[in-house]
Amino acid sequence: RMMKRQIQCRSDLGRLNAPFLAIYESLIPAEEEKAKQKQLLTLLERLVCTEWPKARLYLYGSCANSFGVSKSDIDVCLAIEDMDVNKSEIILRLADIFQSDNLQNVQALTRARVPIVKLMDPVTGLSCDICINNILAVVNTKLLRDYALIDARLRQLAFIVKHWAKSRGVNETYQGTLSSYAYVIMCIHFLQQRRPAILPCLQEMETTFSATVEGVECAFFDQVEKLRDFGSCNNETMSQLVWAFFNYWAYHHDYANSVISIRTRNIISKQGKDWTRRIGNDRHLICIEDPFQVSHDLGRVVDKYSIKVLREEFERAADIMQYDPNPCGKLFEPY
Ligand code: ATP
Ligand code: MG
């Protein structure tokens, strides 16, 4: 399959750049959405602090990593030191507090893998999920945001890839396809691999930010304002990158042997990580190393059926990028 084709990039890709940029622009959240997020966060902080004065709230996920499209739900993490009470009790108590303050659709999901409270704020119209002490997610959110500040093409590519994945139904972890977080990591890896590289490897540079979270050492270079010119030797446009991204995952990635790793800026071997066979529910059919929890394969949700769906979608996208006269329309057609 990998040998299937060595194709040449189509010659009119330049013409497609403007339409892709227009789609990207249309997905960017308006400034007023940011203001509403702040407003809701302030309200939640006030409510939470009456019960736990030392607690802090952090935004994480797409509302804070700069990869959020407009009208996304917001993800909030409550950081609380006092863990005498267990997470379920905190979740239930939070739900009580929010309910009595007229927040709507308040639900306490205490049995979920990551227990959360869900709510909707009628004033801003925003929905939000609140989890407890998920500090690793707060730190990986910062890593993603810092990468996005280095080169504008990361955010552009990731918006297009996320938009494609949502349109095509392959952004559903409960159905065995990939999370938005996994897709952004795939985009970072891909831009690290371009020659000349468009992104550096922040975790291999001098440490300017570090945190130890749940025994995991998270260290990287975060003075990204110093890296604004990093990708300037590479002139590839968005449409070229979209084409090459899908082409890579359709025809060039070695699914049998390779793990992508933004931590090392490399492709590493499945063998080395002992990810060559199914262990429990982890099948390792597409291997994406988490940058901090390196024993986590973000592709572990993918099973023998969904890997087929996923690869067929990569191939469809690559073929549309290669041959379709109007790829912007076709790529995002609902499945
Ligand atoms: P969307 O716009 O689709 O809501 P999102 O950026 O919020 O995208 P999600 O995949 O919903 O992405 O994940 C939210 C956050 O949760 C991520 O930014 C990341 O911090 C954390 N996260 C999600 N999945 C994992 C995972 N498998 N391991 C570690 N952290 C994860
Ligand atoms: Mg989210």
| Residue 29 DSSP label | P
Does 291 contact ligand 1 (Cβ within 6 A)? Answer: no
Query: Per-residue b/e over 165-183, b at no fewer than 16 CB within 10 Å?
Result: bbebebbebeebbbbbbbb
Does 140 contact ligand 1 (Cβ within 6 A)? Answer: yes
Which ligand 1 atom is the nearest neighbour of the CA of 144? Answer: 18
The 10 Å Cβ neighbour count of residue 159 is: 24
pLDDT in tens, the chain (335 residues): 455 566 678 888 989 999 999 999 999 999 999 999 999 999 999 999 999 999 999 999 999 999 999 989 999 999 998 767 789 999 999 999 999 999 999 999 999 989 999 999 999 999 999 999 999 999 999 999 999 999 999 999 999 999 999 999 999 999 999 999 999 999 999 999 999 999 999 999 999 999 999 999 999 999 999 999 999 999 999 999 999 999 999 999 999 999 999 999 999 999 999 999 998 889 999 999 999 999 999 999 999 999 999 999 999 999 999 999 999 999 999 99
Alpha-carbon gap, residue 15 to 293, rounded angstroms: 41
Q: Which residues have CB less than 5 Å away from ligand 2 (the ion)?
A: 61-62, 75
**Could you tell me the pTM of the whole model?**
0.96
Among 177, 181, 188, the mutation site with the greatest number of ligand 1 atoms within 8 A of its Cβ is 181
Alpha-carbon gap, residue 63 to 33, rounded angstroms: 10
**What's the gap between Cα 179 and its chain centre?**
7
Query: How many Å lie between the centroid of ligand 1 and the Cα of residue 242?
Result: 22
Which ligand 1 atom is the nearest neighbour of the CA of 292? Answer: 29
CB 168, CB 194: distance < 8 Å: no
The ligand with the least distance to the CA atom of 65 is: 1
Query: How many Å lie between the centroid of ligand 1 and the Cα of residue 92?
Result: 23
Pairing of strands 258-261, 287-288: parallel
Protein residue closest via CA to atom 31 of ligand 1: 137
Query: How many Å lie between the centroid of ligand 2 and the Cα of residue 180?
Result: 8
